[in-house]
A and B are shown apart, each in its own frame.
Chain A
Amino acid sequence: MGFFIKYLLSILIFFPLASAVLLLFINKKNEGILRYLSTFLSLVEFIFSIYLFVYFKPDTYKFQFVEKFHWIPSFGASYYLGIDGVSLFLILLTTLLTFISLISSYRYIREHVKEFVILMLLLETFMVGTFVSLDVLLFYLFWEFMLVPMYFIIGMWGTGKKVYAAVKFFLYTLSGSLMMLFGFIYIYILHYEQTGNFTFNIVKLYNTHIPIGLQIILFIALFLGFAVKIPLFPFHTWLPDAHTEAPTAGSVILAGVLLKFGIYGFFRFAIPLLPSATYVLAPAIIILGVIGIIYGAFVSVVQKDLKRLIAFSSVSHMGFIVLGLFAMSAISVDGSVLQLLNHGISTGALFLFAGMLYERTHTRQIADFGGIAKKAPILTTLFLISVLASIGLPGLNGFVGEFLILIGSFHNYTVLTIIATIGIIFAAIYMLRMFQKVMFQDITNPEMENFEDMNLREIVTVLPLILLMFFIGFYPMPFLSRIDPTVLHFISMVSHHDTIYNIIKLKTGLSNV
């Protein structure tokens, strides 16, 4: 057991990879075995990740479960893993959502099952790896390779213009990532010039002294990589296509986990590495975030396609998270991190429901639905809960996160926070209108007459998410208490630079600008 706990992070990374290799040797025709075995293995992975939660010490900001081995001494890169309160929950979210999306795809994925389950497990390896690496090169390796399985998932099992969506997703994210790579290389070389040592250890790189002008340029480089992933307002155009055309499982993972990497990247890398630039650019980024909130909400109102609507609502929600993160108060960052989980849970659930509707009716157009409530009461109830969670109804998870974000950022960015609140109102408009059109009204489409309610497997698929919505909504303490120390440390690390930045600002007369 000691060994297990000590190398838990490595096990979490490599277990899905080993599972994928195992599945490689199973005959492609045994689709049943492939499905059940992959689901079982991802469940095992999720149970492993629960150990992480159990053995996590909540009262410290220090990295836990640390593993460090030499990897490429010539570059100063090491196999350096560790988690804190933020990555803990993101890993749990990843393993849970992978498990859920594997169960959810029993009906949706009919062709090439073997390739699908292998790619999903491979994707899990890289997602977990990205969250646990504390070495920049290792992080980048996991970060960028993650695109490949996702690209295949969208392109091979998607609908409509799937190849276009897959290639667009790949190229957008890749271009951003490559600019980010430039930023990382520059900081790496800068650190080398200052200390004479090559290192990719993020904790050591935090101590690099970078003049403020350079910080801004480097921040923009890193920003391009992370903002595309979030996606922040002008960089969001890949998202609706990718989300709409992806299979359900792909959408769930994309919305639930992949979008979180952008925020996580800012939290772990961009902001602590370049704190002064963060303070200079924060207002601009928050403005982009708020534009994203409003724009996402407005565009969602007019969407005719169910999945596209959820995709644009994601743009809006991610805007809130950006607002909270860059407002830089302890409460708002807390809220942002919690909202990361909430968004993964509620949007994941919404995509699952969209998938269920699509599997039954083979349409995603909102106008084609109607009157489902009479035929499928369970689905309606659970769907309603997810919709309300997404809107941010008190008592459900979305409320806690959004509330913390708004309270936290009100002090620093009063006007923008007020504008952002409009987004919540619009969320209620577009979500409830969509729900009403899909579930209530009279049945106009004869196909809806034979609508089946959810079966046991589908209930099992969404039930963990529904329970989490209530749990976080009523009692977020277990989550917040673990996130808090990390966030406080983050704030203290950055605001130390805040004072320096203010001095520079006074001296150079930047305050007049």
Chain B
Amino acid sequence: MYNLSSMYSMGLLEKGILSIIPEIVIVIFAFIVLFLTFFEKLSKSKNPYYLSIIGIGFSIVYVLMLSGRTISGFYGEIGFNRFDVFFFIVILLSGLFTVLMSKDVMENFEMPLPEYYSLILFGILAMMILIASNSLIMVFLSIEFLSITAYILTGYLKGNRRSTEAALKYFVLGSFASAFLVFGAVFIYAATGHLNLYNIHHFLSLISHGDMIRYGGIKTYLAIGLILFLVGLAFKMSLFPFHAWTPDAYEGASTPITSFMATGVKVAAFAIFLRVYFLIYSSNIMNFNDILWIIAILSMTFGNIAALLSPNIKRLMAYSSIAQAGYILIGIIGGGYYGYSGTLFYLLAYIFMTAGAFAIVIIFENLDLISLDIKRYSGIGYKYPFVAASMSIFLLSLAGIPMTSGFMGKFYVLSSAVKSGYNFLVVIALLNSAFAAFYYIRIISNMYMPSKKSADIELSNKNGSFGIIGGKVSGELMFTVIVCLIFTILMGVYPQVFINFANNSVNSLWRI
């Protein structure tokens, strides 16, 4: 909460520090992990991995301890309230899954470990600051910080051409997006004279319609600024016209990082967009929903069509994540308490199903039997019963079939859109999700219903384990899969607890 008395009251610094304790924990651990590089013995061991998990764990503990408080620090630049608690938890979970998934993959590639894990921690830190930031400058800085860690992580597989290409592409396009973002911020500042989001909100709610017209430029400047700002954020959310980096970056990066980008980065971008949207876009400047719903439809349609055509599982997931971003956007368009709460719920559901699906992609990659080509998945349903069944559930959840979190999330955002009168949008979204079901189902068909040619492969593999958990899968990956599975089903069958969580955090958005 931003007001003068709290700003200049006692304990300003203490308050500031209190508001970023979860971030501080992450920073400390990130540096500890980084310093392990100096000790050759330590850096080769599994210490960086365990330290990262401990750091994330501590951070989660602090977030939970602070939850319920509303703290504003650093002259209102950083805020901490229930809204942040929700997203901190989501981001930290996403980071945790990434670290858990990374262990096996990184051992396979023999890359320096401490830098890798510290970069992940820095990425998490950047996202947390991004979510907590209350001013345009902070948004820009933390997005840049986040982008740089993401560029490095994408290109981390040294010597791998695809990885380097992906990083370069991501970097070039990302720089453009950052330019748009900062340009937009400048316009907004020029129009309102404030950098703090709450101040801008305050300014816009006080200024009368007459004033807006009298000081001619305000409205135009704001509209231009907000559109440019939207472009910058849409890049990170990988919405349709700004998605071009997504498939390449997702494909080129190592799979844990793909999962990190698909869950963490996207959720963080949505979180800050939701805050900015609530505070500024929804003011009476112009009807941004008209732009947003077109973007949503294009993202869904394009993502689904492209996913249908891609034979590579990681590319498919990349396109499907573009489509998913379209669905999430519907919640924001639907708006209001109900819509925002739906968006939050969907985002929470989304990280579990996506992280779970990527964990299984890694399992198949590690077992070295299957490349990323979907055709090679044929018949593995019988060899790895548990893993394949989990994969089916994650895919069904992404397709929005009931009994999974994906359905509840979709239902939530779509009903909010109906509530706001966007019926046309909802019908298109539903048609899209019927269309999307096709490529998800195709993977399941491949796993369980091999065609005759590939039946030979299945037969030759028949000596595999027949237990519930097949093959030699590392405990960490299995743990990730099981956690994601439990939450995916729980959120689909009994979502009330999670809805309450989302509702609480949306409530705090209203309490300005």
CB within 8 Å of B: which A141-174 residues: 141-145, 147-148, 151-152, 155-156, 162-163, 166-167, 170-171, 174
Task: Report the separation of the CA atoms of residues A151 and B419 in the bound assembly, to the nearest whole angstrom.
Answer: 33
- The residue that A178 contacts in the complex, of B396, B419, B433, with Cβ under 8 A, is B433
Contact between B402 and A144, CB atoms less than 8 A apart: yes
Q: Is B411 an interface residue (CB 8 A)?
A: yes
Closest residue of chain B to A24 (Cβ to Cβ) is B468
- The residue that A185 contacts in the complex, of B414, B437, B496, B500, with Cβ under 8 A, is B414
Task: Report the separation of the CA atoms of residues A74 and B337 in the bound assembly, to the nearest whole angstrom.
Answer: 12
Q: Which of A186-194, A344-352, A376-384 contacts B (4 or more CB under 8 A)?
A: A186-194
Q: Is A71 an interface residue (CB 8 A)?
A: yes
Task: Report the separation of the CA atoms of residues A124 and B158 in the bound assembly, to the nearest whole angstrom.
Answer: 53
Q: Is A179 an interface residue (CB 8 A)?
A: yes
Q: Which residues of A contact B496 (CB under 8 A)?
A: 71-74
Q: Which residues of A contact B503 (CB under 8 A)?
A: 74
Closest residue of chain B to A192 (Cβ to Cβ) is B419
CB within 8 Å of A: which B434-453 residues: 434, 437-438, 441-442, 445, 448-449, 451
The verdict on A178 contacting B431 (CB below 8 Å), with A72-B496, A166-B445, A186-B418 known, is yes
Contact between A156 and B431, CB atoms less than 8 A apart: no
Contact between A188 and B415, CB atoms less than 8 A apart: yes
Contact between B441 and A171, CB atoms less than 8 A apart: yes
Count of B interface residues, CB-CB < 8 Å: 34
CB within 8 Å of B: which A112-166 residues: 112, 137, 140-145, 147-148, 151-152, 155-156, 162-163, 166
Q: Is B150 an interface residue (CB 8 A)?
A: no
Q: Which residues of A contact B423 (CB under 8 A)?
A: 182, 186
Cβ distance B459 to chain A, nearest Cβ, rounded Å: 12
Q: Is B509 an interface residue (CB 8 A)?
A: no
Contact between B418 and A145, CB atoms less than 8 A apart: no
Q: Is A175 an interface residue (CB 8 A)?
A: yes
Contact between B431 and A175, CB atoms less than 8 A apart: yes
The verdict on A163 contacting B451 (CB below 8 Å), with A145-B401, A178-B430 known, is yes
The verdict on A155 contacting B427 (CB below 8 Å), with A145-B403, A175-B434, A178-B433 known, is no
Contact between B418 and A179, CB atoms less than 8 A apart: no
Task: Report the separation of the CA atoms of residues A335 and B72 in the bound assembly, to the nearest whole angstrom.
Answer: 70
Contact between B419 and A189, CB atoms less than 8 A apart: yes
Q: Which residues of B contact A144 (CB under 8 A)?
A: 401-402, 407
Q: Which of B407, B423, B445, B468 has the most CB of A within 10 A?
A: B445
Q: Which residues of A contact B449 (CB under 8 A)?
A: 155-156, 162-163, 166
Q: Is A28 an interface residue (CB 8 A)?
A: yes
Contact between A167 and B442, CB atoms less than 8 A apart: yes
- The residue that A167 contacts in the complex, of B401, B426, B438, B494, with Cβ under 8 A, is B438
Q: Which residues of B contact A151 (CB under 8 A)?
A: 441
Task: Report the separation of the CA atoms of residues A360 and B451 in the bound assembly, to the nearest whole angstrom.
Answer: 25
Closest residue of chain B to A176 (Cβ to Cβ) is B434
Cβ distance A129 to chain B, nearest Cβ, rounded Å: 10
Closest residue of chain A to B426 (Cβ to Cβ) is A182
Contact between B403 and A182, CB atoms less than 8 A apart: no
Contact between A163 and B434, CB atoms less than 8 A apart: no
Contact between B415 and A185, CB atoms less than 8 A apart: yes
Contact between A71 and B494, CB atoms less than 8 A apart: yes
Task: Report the separation of the CA atoms of residues A179 and B500 in the bound assembly, to the nearest whole angstrom.
Answer: 28
18 contacts between A and B (CB under 8 A): A72-B494, A72-B499, A74-B499, A75-B415, A141-B403, A148-B401, A151-B441, A152-B448, A155-B445, A175-B434, A178-B431, A179-B427, A181-B411, A181-B430, A182-B426, A185-B426, A186-B418, A189-B418
* Extra inter-chain contacts (11) besides given A167-B442, A182-B426, A185-B426, CB under 8 Å: A71-B494, A72-B495, A75-B499, A145-B401, A148-B401, A155-B449, A162-B449, A163-B449, A182-B423, A182-B430, A189-B415
Could you tell me which B residues sit within 8 Å of A by CB distance?
Answer: 382, 396, 401-403, 407, 411, 414-415, 418-419, 423, 426-427, 430-431, 433-434, 437-438, 441-442, 445, 448-449, 451, 466, 468, 494-496, 499-500, 503
The 8 closest A-B pairs by CB, nearest first: A175-B434, A141-B402, A178-B430, A155-B449, A74-B499, A145-B403, A144-B402, A163-B449
